[in-house]
Amino acid sequence: MAEPTVWEQVLDPAHRADPYPLYAELRRTPVSRQADGSYLVSTYPEVLALLHDPRLSSDPSHNPQFAAAMAEQPEDRPPSFLLMDPPEHDRQRRLAMRHFGPPQAPRRVAGMEPRMLEIVTGLIDEMAGKTRIDVVDELAYPFPVSVICELLGVPVEDRPRFRKWVDMALEAINPGVDPQVQQQKREEAGNELFNFISELVERHRQAPGDDLLSAMAADDGPEGRLSTEQLASTGLLLLIAGHETTVNLISNGVLTLLRHPDVLERLRRDPDLVIPMTEELLRYEPPVHFIPIRTALDDIEAAGTTIPAGSPVTLLLAAANRDPQHVAEPDRFIPDRPDNQHLGFGSGIHLCFGAPLARLETQVALTEFARRFRNPRLAEDPPPYRPSPILRGPRHLAVDVDAG
């Protein structure tokens, strides 16, 4: 039996707790061809350049691994703009961003900070008297779910329904999963989730509120409105991406702080440290480790290698973030690292839409964790990890605390 390749080891859940030595091996060959004809890109300059290269497509219909599944996609269920190229990507993203961030809606996210603090305070209050908590189940998951649901106007009674669907949808994109199994999970999760969001969009269209979905549904801007189907796809993207990555960022943040008790104490004394520290977390323990669905539309030269047109390309963000040619002491967690240029939210036209929201949620959660809990310490290190090699984070994070 052949020895597994480095990439196969990255995909193996047995290496989920610490894939970084494997990424270091991959960086020895910045652009490497795999047995299936795909290419891995693992060094910072090359990943950054390709994130900005219009010859690298985000449309799965160009990708031989996904083209068949995309062809079978129902016409009334268009992909989100995350899986589009310009110019349609740019139009749909602009229409969504008009109501989410600056300059048209500068207070949409920032104005939620008091409510975020209220949610986190309530969650921590519920843990009073416990001497062991699960940071994932009791803080890192329920907090961003509550925030994104309030932002989108998801009724409280509907919020528990989509966790199962989201887990299935994420499993459907994991490399190494049988394509038929992927398609089955994608269809099952997609049907239920899309129907749920479509019904929600129609409710908001009929009776608008002050939430983001209502604002997009009632948009009368110069570029018109998203169609009901496009709005459902956008809402679905925001609902999933708007909490899954933040769950990992908060969980990885708490884990990193508990592994660096001196930094935890610094944060307790100086809450402003959380701002640069969040950027370092995005570099050091990013919530998204790689982007698997890209296709070369033309021959592309990168680090002396030609990626042929039509080739699938995977961009290893987490490996690039620790490229020693880009950053000094890449394997050290330096909470106030100056000029922190990372790829924790990607880059280019697909820069994470929800980055301002994820940053603020993480800052609030970690500051309150440091302030409220007495003598927190890891009950298990490493903790058990979620199976996904793409969205990497603890499945549970048991922490012992002093009752008080």
**Amino acid sitting at position 376:** P
Q: To the nearest whole percent, how much of the chain has pLDDT over 90?
A: 64
pLDDT at 32 over 60: yes
CA distances from 272 to 192, 275, 368 (A): 42, 6, 12
Task: Give the largest Cα separation in the chain, rounded.
Answer: 62
How confident is residue 242, by pLDDT bands cut at 50, 70 and 90? confident
Which residues, other chains included, contact 353 with Cβ-Cβ below 8 Å and sequence gap of 6+? 82, 93, 96, 97, 100, 237, 238, 241
Average pLDDT over the chain reads: 89
Mean pLDDT, residues 267-292 taken together? 97
Kindly state the helix (H) or strand (E) to which residue 309 belongs, with its residue range: none
Mean pLDDT of 234-243: 82
pLDDT (0 to 100) of residue 390: 93
Residue 403's pLDDT is 83
Q: Check pLDDT > 70 for residue 73.
A: no
Cα–Cα distance for residue pair 224/271, rounded to 1 Å: 43
70-74, 97-101, 128-132, range with greatest mean pLDDT: 128-132
Distance CA 294, CA 17 (A): 26
Confidence of residue 118 (pLDDT cuts 50, 70, 90): very high
| pLDDT above 90: residue 207 | no
Minimal CA–CA distance to 365: which of 117, 2, 77, 91? 117
* Cα separation, 116 vs 362, whole angstroms: 10
pLDDT at 78: 84
Q: Which residue has the higher pLDDT, 312 or 107?
A: 312
Mean pLDDT across 157-172: 65
pLDDT digits (tens, 9 = 90+) for 341-371: 999 999 999 999 899 999 999 999 999 999 9
The predicted structure's pLDDT at residue 243: 82
Domains of the chain as residue ranges with CATH: 63-289+344-402 (1.10.630.10)
Given a cut of 90, whether residue 30 has pLDDT beyond it is yes
d(CA 278, CA 114): 19
pLDDT at 283 over 90: yes
> Which string of DSSP letters, residue by residue, matches 203-253?
HHHHS--SSHHHHHHT--STT----HHHHHHHHHHHHHHHHHHHHHHHHHH
Most confident segment among 93-107, 131-145, 228-242: 131-145
> What's residue 224's pLDDT?
78
For the ranges 36-50, 61-75, 304-318, 377-391, the lowest mean pLDDT is seen at 61-75
- Asked if 264 contacts 250 with a C-beta cutoff of 8 angstroms, the reply is no
Q: Of 40-54, 92-106, 144-158, 385-399, which range is least confident?
A: 92-106
Q: Model pTM?
A: 0.91
pLDDT for the residue numbered 72: 58
Q: What is the pLDDT of residue 157?
A: 81
How far, in Å, CA of 363 to CA of 178, rounded?
38
pLDDT value at position 314?
97
